[in-house]
Amino acid sequence: MRIIYIIIALLVSACSGITDNSEHNYTINNQTNNSEDFSIFWRQYREKVLKHDIIWLKLNTVFPLTVKGRQDTDTIYKISNSDFENVFDLFLKTKTDMEYGTNLEYIKVTKESNAENHDGWPSNYRRMNEMIFYFTGNDWKLAEIYMDMKKHP
């Protein structure tokens, strides 16, 4: 019986360091990510989007992927791994508010990272037009996209 108490105490102790990052379950390591790392990642990400390498894109996406509309009152959707390809294809065809036309056209012309990281945003966060990437402790991953899902039932 004493062994059971010891095991329970060890499990409680081991689990106490686990934190939930609200929307996403991953550890953030703010010390190893920087703009240069993201620039390298962006070049590779862009190449994989243009080649439509869905397997690689899925591996470099946080699931469930968050899809937000333009307004704070818009419904927030959580996209599973199995729905990713259909939603991402719609996202690529969606027109942006920028001069680029569609999200795919933006990715085509944006060969180098112009990632935004505004004051007050975490250092593990980069925004490329309608895409939000997070540094997940080891890698950059797509975590959120902005797309009006009402236009795409």
Domains of the chain: 26-151 (3.10.450)
CB 115, CB 123: distance < 8 Å: no
pLDDT, tens digit (0-9, with 9 covering 90-100), for 11-35: 434 443 333 334 443 334 444 446 6
Q: What is the mean pLDDT of the chain?
A: 79
pLDDT, tens digit (0-9, with 9 covering 90-100), for 96-137: 876 778 999 999 999 988 776 666 677 788 989 899 999 988
At position 114, the amino acid (one-letter code) is: N
What are the C-alpha distances in Å from 28 to residues 19, 47, 71, 99, 107? 10, 25, 27, 33, 26
Cβ count within 10 A of residue 11: 10
Cβ count within 10 A of residue 126: 26
Res. 150 pLDDT band, cuts 50 70 90: confident
> Does residue 152 have a pLDDT over 60?
no
